[in-house]
Structure 1
Amino acid sequence: MIVGVGMDMIEVDRVMEKVRKNKGFREKIFSPQEITFCEAQTHADQSYAARFAAKEAFLKATGKGLTLGYDLAEIEVVPDAHGQPHLHLHGNFKAIALQNNWNKIHLSLSHLATVACAVVILEQ
């Protein structure tokens, strides 16, 4: 049963401006695995923006937003062997998912040169 849907769209430049101007922003928002993945991409800026949108979309899907906590690196976008992105939750977010019996999390990412978007669907 679907219990939450979240969507986020963000300008790529907006995310990259924060990455460039705020020294700790990247490490605070993205996991080491996400950073490694994004930096290996031809368009790293688009990859960062899509992952940021995924984190925001997940928070919207929960219906609680940032009241769940602020450690966005605990919401991790990880590609499978075929390159399909999946959300892996850690720490506080993993505990909340278990408490709410969110046993399936669907994620779709899309990006262009200037915008990135993500959709998250939570199921019980």
Structure 2
Amino acid sequence: MIYGIGTDLCDVRRIAATLARKSDRFAEKVLGPDELKVFHARRAKVESRGIRFLATRFSAKEAFSKAVGMGLHMPMTWRSCEILNERSGKPYIRLHGELAAWFAQRNLVAHVTVTDETDYVASFVVVETAATFPATALQP
């Protein structure tokens, strides 16, 4: 059953301006440890790729906070929610600390997708209650 849906549209130029004004402190406030590694690697190769990565993560976290219905209030914090990629490129959400415990307590599962263009990024998150079927119910 769907618990919540969140979407966000973000102007990459706004993220670039904030990053220029606040330097890496902005990225360090928004990104978790594994996201920061990707951000620095992408930015070192091509500045705009790093900025778009930061913008997609900012947007996805906004969408996630809307889907769980709490905005950016405890236990939801920027760094307690990471948007990472599987080897295939598919994005997924990894939660930490109190937010992970809050999420697990409610037996929730999150699905995320992000997209980016030159000036805009968009994110969509669906949070649902995890199915609790007996293993035999899944067999044909």
Q: Same fold (TM over 0.5)?
A: yes
Matches of 2:127 and 2:7, distance apart in 1: 12
Query: For the pair shown, which has the larger CA radius of gyration, 1 or 2?
Result: 2
Matches of 1:69 and 1:105, distance apart in 2: 16
Tell me the residue number matched to 2:133: none
Equivalent pairs, count: 123
What are the ranges of 5 or more consecutive residues in structure 1 without an aligned counterpart? none
CA displacement, residues 1-52 of structure 1 (integer Å, 9 cap, x when unaligned): 1111000111001112222211422111101221221233341111110110
Q: Over the residues paired in the alignment, what is the CA RMSD in angstroms?
A: 1.5
Q: Which amino acid is 2:28 matched to?
A: E
Q: Which one has more relative contact order, counting CA pairs under 8 Å at least 6 apart? A: 1
Q: Which amino acid is 2:74 matched to?
A: L
Corresponding position: 1:109 with 2:114: yes
Displacement over 4 Å in runs of 4+ = none
Greater mean deviation of Cα atoms: 33-42 or 7-16: 33-42
Tell me the residue number matched to 1:38: 39
Taking structure 2 as the reference length, the TM-score comes to 0.81
Asked if the contact 1:8/1:118 (under 8 Å) is kept, the reply is: yes
Match of 1:88 among 94, 109, 120: 94
Asked if the contact 2:65/2:76 (under 8 Å) is kept, the reply is: no
What are the ranges of 5 or more consecutive residues in structure 2 without an aligned counterpart? 130-140
Asked if the contact 1:29/1:72 (under 8 Å) is kept, the reply is: yes
Matches of 2:70 and 2:77, distance apart in 1: 14
Q: Which amino acid is 1:20 matched to?
A: A
Secondary structure at the residue paired with 1:34? helix
Matches of 1:46 and 1:6, distance apart in 2: 20
